[in-house]
Amino acid sequence: MAARRKKIKIAVTGLNAIDSPGPGIPVIRALRASGDFDVRIIGLSYETLEPGIYMHDLVDKTYQIPFPSSGKASLLTRLKYINSIEKIDLIIPNFDAELFNFITLANTLRKEMGIRVFVPTLDQFEERHKSNLPAFGKKHKIKVPFSKMIFSTAEIPSLRKDFTYPLVVKGKYYDASIAYTPEQVASHFNKISAKWGLPVIIQQFVYGQEVNVTAIGDGKGNTMGAVPMRKQYITDKGKAWSGISINDRKLMDMTKKLIRSTKWKGGMELEIIKTANDEYYLLEINPRFPAWVYLAVGCGQNHPEMLVKMAMGEKVVPFKKYDIGKMFVRYSYDLIVELKEFEKISTLGEL
């Protein structure tokens, strides 16, 4: 007889399954695929047109929460209301911009409401910021492209002292665009700063092949799971629309070294450029699961399930292997929604 699955209520953010998708829906799919947990999924949305709100086969109930810029006090107030109804066991936040609030509220959520989160420490979160990446690379002995912060378009002409074109213009949370001229830098700067604020990061462009890793650490230096992939198709927003799991021991060693050195806690994504000379440059560390995390499930490693087990204090054994040559291909899907559902989430803030 099969073991009975443990019932658990998990709240998940990142329901924006659009052309630049959040990780929420893939994380939920991974949780639904768990052989150990019978999950009730509580969606936490920011906007009324996030597709995950209306995907009732995956999300049991959705509540809107205040934008991260509203601060942790308003988030805590809203979570108290939601928890009074749902009695949540665990929250899995999936956006960089919201993590500061959830990290700083972690102890309060646990003590006052019994809600667990399994996220990086504040020091881990802060030191891997794009603006801190050069110092991070030096500390942990990992190559990173040269970069610097700018706060005004007036600084653009002087970039020629430190950079050659093309170069990369990045937002402090999201977005990255390649610029071939100072005029393009200015255009990207204005768009990115208007959306994500200052500073804007200018980064050396490294020629090579982009490879990514989804991984999870236990907070003690142990890698509990890791799956590397090579992007097969990239959208105009720089998002992987298709990828394939690969066998790359040097990349895996780099990942394990980084998790051991930082004692990383929770999910992460490494974005890396592999050059023609077989050198590896770390472009970014995303402090949460990537939107392609379901590929890891397809390769035999369910990272969101592993996170739940560690968050709940269960004994776990690290994943030792994964399937090589498994692909993911993203697709668009028209979801038919009743207007009354949109009206309900818009007016009542829950559905």
pLDDT per position as a tens digit, 47-99:
999 999 999 999 999 999 999 999 999 999 999 999 999 999 999 999 999 99
Least confident of 43-52, 96-105, 167-176, 268-277: 167-176
User: What residues contact 198, with CB distance under 8 A and at least 6 apart?
Assistant: 151, 172
Rounded Cα distance, 332 and 341, in Å? 21
Nearest residue to 214 via CA among 84, 343, 303? 303
Give the mean pLDDT of 297-314. 98
Mean pLDDT of the chain: 94
- The secondary structure of the chain in percent helix, strand, coil, rounded to multiples of 5, reads 35, 25, 40
Close Cβ partners of 180 (under 8 Å, ≥ 6 residues apart): 165, 166
- Counting residues of the chain whose pLDDT is more than 70, the rounded percentage is 99
Q: What number is the average pLDDT over the span 203-225?
A: 96
Q: What is the pLDDT of residue 47?
A: 96
The model's pTM: 0.93
- DSSP per-residue letters across 235-299: -TTS-EEEEEE---HHHHHHHHHHHHHHT-EEEEEEEEEE-TTS-EEEEEEESS--TTTHHHHHT
Checking 103-112 for CB contacts under 8 A at 24+ apart, the result is 104/72, 105/72, 105/75, 105/76, 108/76, 109/76, 109/79, 112/80
131 pLDDT above the threshold of 90: no
| Cα–Cα nearest to 164, from 206, 209, 134, 131 | 206
Domains with residue ranges and CATH for the chain: 6-118+334-348 (3.40.50.20), 146-204 (3.30.1490.20)
pLDDT computed for residue 130 by the predictor: 80
pLDDT band at 1 (very low <50, low <70, confident <90, very high): very low
DSSP 5: P
Going by C-alpha positions, the residue among 15, 29, 90, 40 that lies closest to residue 308 is 90
pLDDT of amino acid 3: 67
Distance (Å, whole) CA 139 – CA 109: 32
pLDDT of residue 340: 96
**pLDDT band (50, 70, 90) for residue 2:** low
Measuring CA to CA, which residue among 98, 50, 49 is closest to residue 72?
98
